[in-house]
């Protein structure tokens, strides 16, 4: 998990977070979106976060998945939700389908090479269609 000191003002004047990926030990610098900043602010005075000098309370992957199951139950979602699924959704629905280049997504996910991201973050049909429309317009 990231320490409070790992949040800084980036080259663009916005808040960024720096972290090392647990699985790959690759350093990642991530610009924070407004919803993430809101969540971080909600926990900034939490006794556990202050005591541990952490941005968010540290919980295990297993506990995170248990919380996601509870959320799914409350919302009436039948699909099993997992932290891995959240990463996949971030890669596909939030970034790639909104035009974020796959190279950027690869860095955000902490992948060592682009090939991993290409497998992990499938290109959506909608994105392919939009890219082809741009290409077609160049042939007119």
Nearest 5 degrees, angle CA 69-CA 25-CA 66? 10
Distance between CA atoms of 106 and 118, rounded to whole angstroms? 8
Q: Are 69 and 75 in contact (CB under 8 A)?
A: no
pLDDT at 121: 61
Question: What three-state secondary structure class fits 120?
Answer: helix
Local mean pLDDT, 10-residue blocks, the chain (140 residues): 75 91 82 93 86 82 92 94 88 87 90 84 74 89
Q: Does residue 92 sit in helix, strand or coil?
A: helix
Alpha helix ranges (H) inside the chain: 34-43, 47-52, 61-75, 83-89, 102-109, 114-120, 125-138
- pLDDT computed for residue 112 by the predictor: 86
Name residues whose C-beta falls within 8 Å of residue 97's C-beta, 6 or more positions apart in sequence.
Answer: 124, 126, 127
Are 102 and 89 a contacting pair, CB within 8 Å? no
DSSP state, residue 102:
H
Bridge partner residues of 17 (DSSP): 7, 30
- Cα dihedral value 99, 29, 86, 98, nearest 10: -10
C-alpha torsion sign, points 31, 33, 36, 37? positive
- The pTM score is 0.70
């Amino acid at each position: 998990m990231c320490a409070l000191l790992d949040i800084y003002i980036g080259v663009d004047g916005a808040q960024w977070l720096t972290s090392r990926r647990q699985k790959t030990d690759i350093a990642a610098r991530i610009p924070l979106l407004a919803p993430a900043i809101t969540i971080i602010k909600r926990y900034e005075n939490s006794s556990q976060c202050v005591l541990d000098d952490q941005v968010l309370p540290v919980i295990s992957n297993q506990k995170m998945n248990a919380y996601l199951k509870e959320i799914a139950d409350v919302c009436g979602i039948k699909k099993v939700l997992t932290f891995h699924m959240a990463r996949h959704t971030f890669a596909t629905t939030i970034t790639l389908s909104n035009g974020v280049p796959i190279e950027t997504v690869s860095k955000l996910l902490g992948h060592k090479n682009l090939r991993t991201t290409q497998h992990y973050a499938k290109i959506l049909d909608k994105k392919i269609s939009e890219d082809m429309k741009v290409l077609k317009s160049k042939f007119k």
